[in-house]
Chain A
Amino acid sequence: MSATRLTKGGRIDRSRTLKLTWDGKSYDGFVGDTLASALMASGTQILGRSFKYHRPRGVMSAGVEESGAIVTLGTGVRAEPNTKATMQELFDGLSAHGQNAWPNVRNDVGSVLGLFGRFFSAGFYYKTFMGLPPFEWGRGTGIWMQYEKLIRKAAGMGEASRLADPDAYDHAHAFCDVLVVGSGPAGLNAALTAAQQGKDVILVEQDFELGGDFLNQTDPAAEARRIELITALQAAGVRIMTRTTAFGLYDYGTAGLLERVTDHLALKPEHSPRQRFWTVRAGATVLATGALERMVCFADNDRPGVMTAAAARSYLNRFGVLPGQNIVVTTNNDSAYATAAELAVAGASVTLVDLRPEGGGSLSEVMADASVAVRTGLAPLRACGRRAVNGVQLARAEGNSWATADTLPCDLLLVSGGWSPVVNLLSHRGAKPKWDADLACFLPAPCPDNVVMAGSASGIWQGDACEASGIAAAKTALGQAVEGPVPGGWDTPIKPVYEVGLPDQKTKGFVDPQHDVTSSDVRLAHQEGFVSVEHLKRYTTLGMATDQGKMGNVIGLALMAEALGKEIPNVGTTRFRPPYTPVAIGALAGRNVGDHFRTLRRTPMHDWNLRHGATMTDAGLWHRPWYYARAGETITEAYIREAATVRQAIGICDVSSLGKIAVQGPDASEFLNRVYSNAFAKLPIGKARYGIMLRDDGIVMDDGTTWRLSETDFLLTTTTANAGKVMVWLEELLQLRWPDLKVHVSSVSDQWAGVSVAGPKARDGIAACLEDPDAILAENLPFMGVTRTRLNGGIDCLIARISFSGELAYEVYVSAGYGERMMDLLWAAAEPLEGCLYGLEALGALRIEKGHVTGAELDGRVTIDDAGLGKMASTKKPFIGSALRQRPELLRPDRPQLVGIFPKDRSQTFNGGALLCKPGVTEGHGEGWVTAVTHSPALGHWIGIGYISGGHGDWQGKTAIATDPVRKGDIEVEIVSPHMFDPEGERMHG
């Protein structure tokens, strides 16, 4: 192939030169070029090396179906592998590299693999390296993993950068009445028709220019028509998106689009996303996605210089590149005739080889005018030449077989094996395309959704008919009865042929060039018993490359049908799945990366906590104070000091993240009585009660305190982790199960700022902050009492005397906006009392000492009895879960039960997550597990809580092993009551 840039013609702007770098060398191109057209114009022929055999590959198409010119774009952190050079718009400074080759694609050492090609048939690696001596020696598949690494190095596509993606991606959403995909003659007309009926229309085009096949035509009338349509679209207010691929169609008219915002720009605007991921909800969808020209399978049909006829037309007419001087065009249908004539007019010497004995009918006369030599009844048998095509050996059909004919020298071999409508997006919707034997292609089948196909995507081959089909499709999509043009449009019918070869030929003809799948692979798969196309696909990897079988699927199906002695429709077809073309993971993630990966929730005192030395930790979506280290303190030193201070004086802890739900209404107490396992009906006003709620199946769902503020007003608190879940659950119960209850629930988690004030001096500390210090006197606010009062400065507050730490403790709630003011007041009072601020780590230490449960213990597997709270399950009333908690399995006495854990040697520690085992039986699931471990300042050594079969009664005087083989090994432990500190609760009642 000796391509040259023409001095005129095409849609490129020869006055604007762009520089590009290919494999380190500098080349020129023009505005309007793709990377492929620029490289072709500069005479570069080998642009890639094939997947398995490292065969040299050049440009094979001019579009998304490209299987040869697959390159790595950019360098370093922005290196993007497996980019199709045919789709990459040229920009100044573009840099690209060949891939799957060493040292480069022109001279690739790996190409020796091609010499052994006959060994590398379908399944070769698996057959050779798995299970067979001498490679396995009965060692299982482990050794395969080693071979696989080497194999992957030798075979493959480009390599992705291992660095984090530096670019930003956006997610965007849109709605429209009609979504039109494709801006060729059919798409432009469909969009205009819908817009002129007053519909809101989005038109999507993957190319950087609108027009589709208009762009490949030389007739000035075609360009005039294109401009006319686009102008009308703009006037009608159609939203036009170029460089945007509709990669998937989903339920309810939802489409996924990928908009390439800056990939074509030399200077990327600083604040633009690289790509935008659109979710479009359309009332109706018109798919004018065009058709792709097929190759034919013959020997060495992948040589650089072999391409589809349509591609040559595109390079000639759109990019002003004459892709060869001495061209052979082989075809089995009418479509290549115009291409042949145009190439000849542009100065090439062209021979047209038509498989059909009768040729192209009246089209042949045009060929004579353009001095194109026409040969009929012949097909390509073999492409000659190694690194580039230099001729084509022809074959003549003889009955059902082929006989060698003469060889024609050429530097460009064009192939037209027929056309495949792009039915991929329709296939996403589950509509199986139907094989049309006359047109030798799959045609769209009716789709239950409002999706209509138009133009060549529905098998309509002529431009005028495509325009009419676009108009008809838009009307159909809008529910108007209309007759559109019928598929077809060739004067002489296509003569289907998928493979040309001699019976005993040992050469390679590629079906799916991108994955190096040959016709012999397909036949071998059949020989080895693969009869389903789905199995064929997986065994040979046909259609599993980045083009998803755009190039080879139909040929593969045809060969399989032939091998099975069936018709193509009886073999079936694989279902196309999204995405139509690859989508970067970054685009799927959008802005949800790094700090934005998930929502961050801050308490109203977040900044206050930071100002006072808090180190934060993640608690679900929340950032909560973890510990408040003083200068030089480690986390362990800090939390031990904090926990000790709470036991000795006073500590303040931000508990605003607890879930808070207002339960209000005349039936609120009845509702809570059903939801909680313990009695709530008679909770007095001004009292709080600790409650446990179960799921329907009798397992614990959540725990927390509920405060009765009035006859009809309760404040229910949940654990931080389950706040959302409990709210949903209460809503479900009220709306679905007990609609007769007059209760309203609303989440007030964000409305309240809450702190826990704990320790022997807690009462003094809070009293100093109250307008009426007497409000907190023991007689006015006894244990589990709730009061409404005011902090100094007239700040309304709720105070409940409840304790998680086991100390005299209160929770003080104020309106969220007063959170920082409350902290100022309390801290000013607590600091002189030698108090401290404490975080989650100290909170954990305090509650573990007391054996109080949290999410680590209430893990969705434990019953209320397992958690040692069985006495909280009322026997006097039914409640949610009361029936199914009585299942025999949940009542077994040897179920794991909540226990405290001491290391036998008190100087030792053990790990949360360790398994508890019998001595000498440190394997299997063990007898239980450790949920949490802390250093206990009160006891002076490490302690833990967890679950163990039979509970601490069964383990009295026995030794258990906390085993953690990966981290810590085996530690001997004693099993004790979970109430390890102040078991009588004297401190909190004080």
Chain B
Amino acid sequence: MIRIPCPFCGIRDHSEFTYGGDGSITYPALDAPLQEWHDAVFQRENICGVQTETWHHVNGCRMWILVDRDTMTHEIHAVRPAHPDLAKALESSS
């Protein structure tokens, strides 16, 4: 079981979270061409090593977070709120 240090709730079991997906994707603008959307939605890397992923603390604070996780070892290197303003606020308060 992975234990995820939620920036809002502390260390919790991964069963409290749902996995989102690749957190490094920048989604195109809604009116961007089909090809850009195609690449963002379907062309994904299958990373062996550390990747940034989105997780949702669905049975907790309901916040989406970005997790840098090693796909080989499950080691988590960093966790931060997905919402950039919240991330900034947490950073400046710590």
Q: List the interface of chain A (C-beta within 8 A of B).
A: 250-254, 279, 281, 448, 674, 696-697, 728, 731-732, 734-737, 739, 878-880, 882-884, 886-887
Which chain A residue lies CB-closest to B81? A735
CB-based contact A735/B83 at 8 Å: yes
The complex places the Cα of A307 from the Cα of B32 at a distance, in Å, of: 75
Contact in complex: A674, B30 (CB < 8 Å): yes
Enumerate chain A residues within 8 angstroms of B2, measured Cβ to Cβ. Answer: 251-252
Question: Is A883 a contact partner of B54 (Cβ separation < 8 A)?
Answer: no
Tell me which of A448, A735, A887 contacts B34 (CB under 8 A).
Answer: A887
Choose from A697, A735, A882, A883 the contact partner of B82 (Cβ within 8 Å): A735
**Distance of A451 from chain B, by nearest CB (Å):** 14
Contacts of A732 in B (CB 8 A): 20, 54, 56, 64
The 6 closest A-B pairs by CB, nearest first: A878-B30, A883-B37, A878-B31, A252-B3, A735-B64, A254-B1
Q: Among A251, A252, A254, A736, which residue has its beta carbon within 8 angstroms of that of B64?
A: A736
Contact yes or no, A251 B83, CB < 8 A: no
Known: A254-B1, A731-B56. A884 touches B34 (CB 8 A): yes
With a cutoff of 8 Å between Cβ atoms, the chain B residues found around residue A253 in the complex are 3
In the complex, what distance in Å separates the CA atom of A739 from the CA atom of B1? 31
Q: Produce 1/0 per residue, B15-31, CB < 8 A to A.
A: 00010100000011111
Residues of B within 8 A of A281 (CB): 3, 13
Known A-B contacts A251-B2, A732-B56, A737-B27; A883 and B63 likewise in contact (beta carbons under 8 Å): no
State how many angstroms separate the Cβ of B88 from the closest Cβ of chain A.
11
CB contact under 8 A between A279 and B1, given known A728-B56, A735-B82:
yes
Q: Is the CB of A739 within 8 A of B34?
A: no
Q: In the complex, A882→B34 CA distance in Å?
A: 9
| Chain B residues with CB under 8 A of A739 | 83-85
| Complex Cα–Cα for A752 and B4 (A) | 34
Shortest distance from the beta carbon of B75 to any chain A beta carbon, whole Å: 8
Contacts A/B (CB < 8 Å), 19 sampled: A251-B2, A251-B74, A252-B2, A279-B1, A674-B30, A696-B41, A732-B54, A736-B20, A736-B82, A736-B83, A739-B83, A878-B29, A878-B31, A880-B30, A883-B31, A883-B32, A883-B34, A884-B37, A886-B34
Tell me which residues from 38 to 58 in chain B have a Cβ below 8 Å from any Cβ of chain A: 38, 40-42, 54, 56, 58
A697 CB to nearest chain B CB (Å): 6
Q: Give CA–CA (A252, B11) in the complex, Å.
A: 11
A883 and B33 contact, CB distance less than 8 A:
yes
Q: A737 vs B56: C-alpha distance in the bound complex, in angstroms?
A: 14
Cα of A886 to Cα of B31 in the assembled complex, Å: 12
Closest to B29 in A: A878
Compute how far the CA of A878 lies from the CA of B29 in the bound complex, rounded to whole angstroms: 9
Q: How many A-B residue pairs have CB under 8 A?
A: 71
CB within 8 Å for A735 and B30 given contacts A250-B1, A254-B1: no
Enumerate chain B residues within 8 angstroms of A887, measured Cβ to Cβ.
Answer: 34, 38
How far apart are the CA atoms of A883 and B64 in the complex, in Å?
25
Any A CB within 8 A of the CB of B77: no
Residue of B nearest to A882 (CB): B30
Separation of A539 and B76 alpha carbons in the complex (Å): 38
With A251-B3, A448-B73, A736-B64 in contact, is A879–B34 under 8 Å at CB?
A: no
The size bracket of the interface on B is 20 to 34
Chain B residue numbers with a CB within 8 Å of A728 are 18, 56, 58
Q: Determine the residue in chain A with the shortest Cβ distance to B87.
A: A739
- Chain B residue nearest in CB terms to A697: B41
Q: How far is the CB of A283 from chain B (nearest CB, A)?
A: 11
Chain A residues within 8 Å of B74, by CB: 251-252
Most chain A CB neighbours (cut-off 10 Å) among B36, B40, B62, B74: B62
The chain B residue with its CB closest to the CB of A696 is B41
Is B63 a contact partner of A735 (Cβ separation < 8 A)? yes
Residue of B nearest to A254 (CB): B1
* CA of A281 to CA of B5, assembled, Å: 14
Nearest CB in chain A: distance from B89 CB, A: 12
Q: Measured between C-beta atoms, what is the minimum distance from B56 to chain A in Å?
A: 6
A884-B41 in contact (CB<8A): yes
Nearest CB of chain A from residue B14's CB, rounded to whole Å: 9
Q: How far is the CA of A252 from the CA of B38 in the complex (A)?
A: 37
CA distance in complex: A674, B27 (Å): 14
Q: Contact string, B67-94, partner A, CB cutoff 8 A, digits 1/0?
A: 0000001110000011111000000000
CA distance in complex: A252, B1 (Å): 7
Q: How far is the CA of A448 from the CA of B81 in the complex (A)?
A: 27
Neighbouring A residues of B37 by C-beta, 8 Å:
696, 883-884
CA distance A883 to B73 in the complex (A): 37
Instruction: List residues of chain A with CB within 8 A of the CB of B64.
Output: 731-732, 735-736
Closest to A885 in B: B34
- Determine if B3 and A884 form an interchain contact, defined as CB atoms under 8 angstroms apart: no
A731 in contact with B62 (CB, 8 Å): yes
| Residues of chain A lying within 8 A (CB to CB) of residue B54 | 732, 736
**Contact at B1–A251, with CB atoms within 8 Å?**
yes
Distance between Cα atoms of A446 and B70 in the complex (Å): 19
Shortest CB-to-CB span from B94 to chain A, Å, is 20
Question: Which residues of B sit under 8 angstroms from A731, Cβ to Cβ?
Answer: 56, 62, 64
Bound-state CA distance A270–B37 (Å) is 61
What A residues does B1 contact at CB under 8 A? Answer: 250-252, 254, 279
The residue of chain A having its C-beta at the shortest distance from the C-beta of B23 within the complex is A736
Instruction: Tell me, in angstroms, the Cα distance from A75 to B55 when the chains sit together.
Output: 48
Since A734-B83, A736-B20, A884-B34 are in contact, a sample of 17 more A-B pairs with Cβ atoms closer than 8 Å, ordered by chain A residue number, is: A251-B1, A251-B74, A252-B3, A252-B74, A254-B3, A448-B73, A674-B30, A696-B37, A731-B64, A736-B54, A737-B27, A739-B83, A883-B28, A883-B30, A883-B33, A883-B34, A884-B38
**Residue in chain B with minimal CB distance to A279:** B1
- Report the separation of the CA atoms of residues A288 and B88 in the bound assembly, to the nearest whole angstrom: 46
* Docked pose: A886 CA to B58 CA in angstroms: 32
Complex formed: what's the CA distance from A835 to B77 in Å? 63
**Best-surrounded residue of B18, B32, B34, B83 (most CB of chain A within 10 A):** B34
Q: Are B30 and A879 in contact (CB under 8 A)?
A: yes
Most chain A beta carbons < 10 A, residue from B1, B13, B58, B85: B1
Complex Cα spacing A856 to B81, Å: 36
Chain B residues within 8 Å of A884, by CB: 34, 37-38, 41
A780 to chain B, nearest CB (A): 37
> A residues within 8 A CB of B81?
735
Give the chain B neighbours of A250 by CB distance below 8 A.
1
Shortest CB-to-CB span from A741 to chain B, Å, is 11
A269 to B88 alpha-carbon distance, docked (Å)? 56
Which one of A697, A736, A886 has the highest number of Cβ atoms from chain B below 10 Å of its Cβ? A736
B66 nearest CB across to chain A (Å): 9
CB-nearest residue of chain A to B56? A728
A878 to B40, CA, bound (A): 17
B5 → chain A closest CB, angstroms: 10
CB distance from B44 to the nearest CB of A (A): 12
Q: How far is the CB of A231 from chain B (nearest CB, A)?
A: 34
Interchain CA distance A176-B93 in the complex, whole Å: 30
A55 to chain B, nearest CB (A): 42
Tell me the complex Cα distance, A865–B75, Å: 45
List of B residues within 8 angstroms of A697 by Cβ: 41-42
* Bound form: Cα–Cα A578–B93 in Å: 43
Q: Which B residues lie within 8 Å of A279 (CB)?
A: 1
- Within the complex, the shortest CB–CB distance from B91 to chain A, in Å, comes to 15
A880 CA to B37 CA, complexed, in Å: 10
Q: CA of A532 to CA of B41 in the docked complex: distance in angstroms?
A: 41
In the bound assembly, the distance between CA atoms of A254 and B3 in angstroms comes to 9
Contacts of B73 in A (CB 8 A): 448
**A458 to B62, alpha carbons, bound, how many Å?**
44
- Taking CB atoms, residues of chain A closer than 8 Å to B75 are 448
Tell me the smallest distance from the CB of A245 to a CB of chain B, in Å. Answer: 18
Tell me, in angstroms, the Cα distance from A448 to B73 when the chains sit together.
Answer: 9
Please measure, in the bound complex, the distance between the C-alpha atom of A22 and the C-alpha atom of B54, giving whole angstroms. Answer: 58
In angstroms, Cα B40 to Cα A448, docked, is 35
- List residues of chain A with CB within 8 A of the CB of B41: 696-697, 884
> How far, in Å, is B4 (CB) from chain A's closest CB?
9
